[in-house]
Structure 1
Amino acid sequence: MSVYALAKTVVEQGVEQAREAGYGEQDLARALMNEVIAIYKRERSLADIAHELQFLAENLDEDQDYAFMRP
């Protein structure tokens, strides 16, 4: 199992557990993002984390090429 498949499974289980506890997907997503950033902070600089988050934010549209790609 790839790490991406593992992450998807963990999130799917988390969504179900959150629903059972009365929380919505957006609540869980926000909490998970906080936890991911806490993990990043263990080994990465704040600038590196900010750069990655900025890259992801700039490339949210799955139908467009990444900003660094040439046509």
Structure 2
Amino acid sequence: MSASEIANTHFTAAMAAAQAAGIDQDGVCRAMLGLIVSKYLESRSAADVQSELHFLADNCDPDTDFAFMRP
């Protein structure tokens, strides 16, 4: 099982649990992101975590190619 498959399994379960409990899924996503950042900070610098998050934020539009992609 890959890292992506493990993460997807748990994320899907969290979203289903939130829906079943009537909890806003955005709130659960925010809570998970907070946990992820906390875990990153155990072994990475704040600047490195910020860089990771900036990259993801800058490239989150699925309709936009990454700058390094060729046509």
| Fold similarity call, TM over 0.5 | yes
Other-structure match for 1:43? 43
Task: Determine what percentage of the aligned residue pairs are the same residue.
Answer: 39
Residue segments in structure 2 that go unaligned for 5+ positions in a row: none
Query: Following the alignment from structure 2 to structure 1, what is the Cα–Cα distance between the partners of residues 41 and 52?
Result: 12
Residue segments in structure 1 that go unaligned for 5+ positions in a row: none
Moved over 3 A (4+): 68-71
User: Over aligned residues, Cα RMSD in angstroms?
Assistant: 1.4
Other-structure match for 2:65? 65
The secondary structure found in structure 2 opposite 1:43 is coil
TM-score, length-normalised on structure 2? Answer: 0.87
1:40 partner letter: Y
TM-score, length-normalised on structure 1? Answer: 0.87
1:3 aligned to 2:3? yes
1:34 partner letter: G
